[in-house]
């Protein structure tokens, strides 16, 4: 092994010597040259000896795989992680979100390699991002999940020995919920379906008061409204998500067995699933299907399927939301075209979106008295807590009626006024000074009145004591 300082030609000619040391050694006839990046001779000797030892171990086939991975650039690890996500079949939006969060983290903390990934730096970054942008706990947890998933992948692929973010903990999303959905009542859902069926034609007639709507346009707009109404009814009657409805094909609808199959490519869990259909939905789908429709075609045409803006406008038409047309932004700058700002929140701040139809489906199951395990299966949830806690709107459940249905002995109170209490030794007549002053009896008097083996004394609006015998 040889230690030396490299020489080079200066900008004005002449030979110059580097201030840092380099080394050269041979392993199995192969020459290795490395820049040691140190000016100290003793440190250069130690680093050169370590490099030679690792080269000899690699040549003997007993090298440490972790050391080879550490020396690779961080960008290569990120590219291979993205390739792994796509190979697993993750949807494009999910992959883009994960990689965007990771790139934001790398640009903020600037680790030189995967060994420099630090939990303290990640925790500081998450705190600063939340404070600077005012993000919710759920949004911050998306970034947390991205870096935890990347670290777990590094450990699983034997690039790191331990998870550097193991000590990180997610935020409590229940304490900082910004987007709280609510389920629709049966009356509200009926108004939404009716408004969706009528609004396209009515809106066109309102805009064309002079020109009017031709018969062909009326037929087309009526078909569009019919499609939207059926989409809302099917979402609330089956709990299908918006993406699942959009990709639903006629071959996925089995009229004979009254089942809707959700293929793994469309399902959120990436598993084949099925949902039973009510008889009225089966009839509606049979009447809606064109005679020339192929089994490979989607149930709802792309141009007729309700967009998110169309859904909000249907909510406004049903009286479930309000809309405001703004001509200027918050800084006073004028928009090129007025923008519609929809407000679907109720008095408690709970909003309505397309996914609220799935909330409505699960809540309706609870209202019908369906067993929680059955509701979980129909909602296709992995955990029953998701069905019971997240997707069940307690405000639409008859809690008082549930208490009244308890199979417990009926308690009949017996009220006697003005009789002598044998247990307490006093009468139900007001004591001296009570009627005149209206003061509350002392604690000692109350304890004396309650020593009757189940007899409780209370003061009513009339200044006399009433005994309730349970």
pLDDT digits (tens, 9 = 90+) for 185-198: 999 999 999 999 99
Q: How far apart are CA 470 and CA 465, in angstroms?
A: 16
CA atoms within 13 A on the CB side of 184: 27
pLDDT digits (tens, 9 = 90+) for 137-167: 999 999 999 999 999 999 999 888 899 999 9
Domains, the chain, in order of start with CATH, read 2-63 (no CATH), 74-175 (1.10.150), 186-356 (1.10.443), 410-428+446-470 (no CATH)
pLDDT score at 333: 85
Which phi and psi (to 5°) does residue 337 adopt?
-135, 145
Per DSSP, the three-state class of 417 is strand
Does the pLDDT at position 318 exceed 80? Answer: yes
pLDDT score at 424: 47
Q: How far apart are CA 139 and CA 129, in angstroms?
A: 10
Does the pLDDT at position 433 exceed 70? Answer: no
pLDDT digits (tens, 9 = 90+) for 366-423: 999 899 999 999 999 999 999 998 899 888 888 888 788 888 887 777 665 555 444 4
pLDDT score at 405: 80
Residue with tokens 């002079």: 210
Given strand 259-262, what is the order of strands in its sheet? 253-254, 259-262, 273-276
Give the total residue count for the chain.
Answer: 470
How far is residue 440 CA from its own chain's centroid? 54
Q: How far apart are CA 273 and CA 294, in angstroms?
A: 22
Does the pLDDT at position 467 exceed 50? Answer: no
pTM above 0.75, yes or no: no
- Sign for the CA dihedral angle at 190, 191, 192, 196 comes to positive
Would you list the DSSP string of 60-114? Answer: HT---HHHHHHTS-HHHHHHHHHHHHHHTT--HHHHHHHHHHHHHHHHHH--SSG
Task: Report which of 171, 73, 167 is spatially closest to residue 121, judged by C-alpha positions.
Answer: 167
Neighbouring residues of 404: CB distance < 8 A, sequence distance ≥ 6? none
Q: How far apart are CA 308 and CA 245, in angstroms?
A: 14
Q: How far apart are CA 27 and CA 141, in angstroms?
A: 49
Question: CA dihedral defined by 34, 35, 38, 44, rounded to 10 degrees?
Answer: 20
Would you list the DSSP string of 387-402? Answer: IIIIS--GGGS-HHHH
Task: Report which of 208, 266, 201 is spatially closest to residue 229, judged by C-alpha positions.
Answer: 201
Per DSSP, the three-state class of 262 is strand
pLDDT score at 463: 42
Does the pLDDT at position 124 exceed 50? Answer: yes
Per-residue pLDDT averaged across 36-49, rounded? 93
């Amino acid at each position: 092994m040889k230690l030396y300082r490299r020489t080079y030609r200066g900008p004005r000619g002449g030979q110059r010597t580097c201030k840092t040391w380099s080394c050269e050694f041979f392993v199995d006839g192969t020459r290795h040259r490395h820049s040691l990046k140190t000016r100290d001779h003793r440190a250069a000797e130690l680093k050169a000896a370590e490099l030679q030892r690792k080269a000899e171990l690699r040549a003997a086939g007993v090298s440490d795989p972790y050391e080879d991975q550490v020396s690779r650039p961080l960008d290569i690890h990120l590219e291979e992680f993205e390739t792994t996500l796509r190979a697993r079949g993750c949807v494009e939006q999910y992959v883009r979100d994960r990689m965007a969060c990771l790139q934001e983290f790398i640009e903020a903390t600037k680790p030189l390699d995967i060994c420099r990934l630090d939990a303290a730096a990640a925790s500081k970054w998450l705190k600063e991002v939340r404070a600077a942008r005012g993000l919710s706990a759920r949004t911050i947890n998306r970034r947390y999940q991205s870096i935890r998933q990347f670290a777990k992948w590094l450990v699983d692929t034997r690039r790191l020995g331990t998870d550097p973010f193991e000590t990180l903990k997610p935020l409590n999303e229940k304490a900082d919920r910004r987007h709280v959905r609510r389920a629709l009542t049966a009356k509200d859902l009926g108004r939404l379906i009716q408004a969706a069926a009528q609004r396209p034609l009515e809106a066109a007639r309102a805009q064309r008061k002079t020109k009017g709507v031709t018969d062909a346009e009326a037929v087309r707009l009526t078909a569009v409204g019919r499609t939207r109404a059926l989409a809302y009814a099917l979402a609330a009657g089956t709990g299908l998500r918006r993406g699942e409805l959009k990709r639903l094909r006629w071959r996925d609808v089995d009229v004979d067995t009254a089942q809707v199959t959700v293929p793994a490519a469309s399902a959120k869990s990436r598993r084949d699933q099925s949902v039973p259909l009510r008889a009225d939905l089966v009839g509606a789908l049979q009447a809606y299907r064109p005679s020339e429709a192929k089994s490979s075609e989607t149930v709802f045409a792309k141009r007729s399927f309700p967009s998110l803006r169309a859904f909000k406008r249907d909510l406004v038409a049903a009286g479930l939301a309000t809309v405001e047309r703004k001509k200027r932004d918050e800084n006073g700058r004028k928009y090129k075209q007025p923008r519609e700002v929809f407000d679907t929140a109720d008095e408690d701040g709970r909003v309505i979106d397309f996914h609220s139809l799935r909330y409505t489906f699960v809540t309706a199951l609870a209202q019908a008295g369906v067993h929680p395990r059955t509701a979980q299966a129909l909602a296709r949830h992995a955990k029953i807590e998701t069905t019971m806690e997240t997707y069940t709107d307690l405000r639409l459940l008859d809690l008082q009626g549930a208490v009244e249905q308890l199979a417990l002995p009926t308690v009949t109170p017996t009220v006697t006024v003005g009789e002598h209490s044998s247990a307490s030794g006093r009468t139900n007549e007001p004591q001296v000074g009570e009627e005149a002053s209206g003061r509350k009896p002392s604690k000692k008097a109350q304890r004396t009145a309650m020593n009757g083996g189940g007899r409780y004394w209370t003061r009513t609006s009339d200044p006399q004591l009433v005994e309730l015998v349970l």
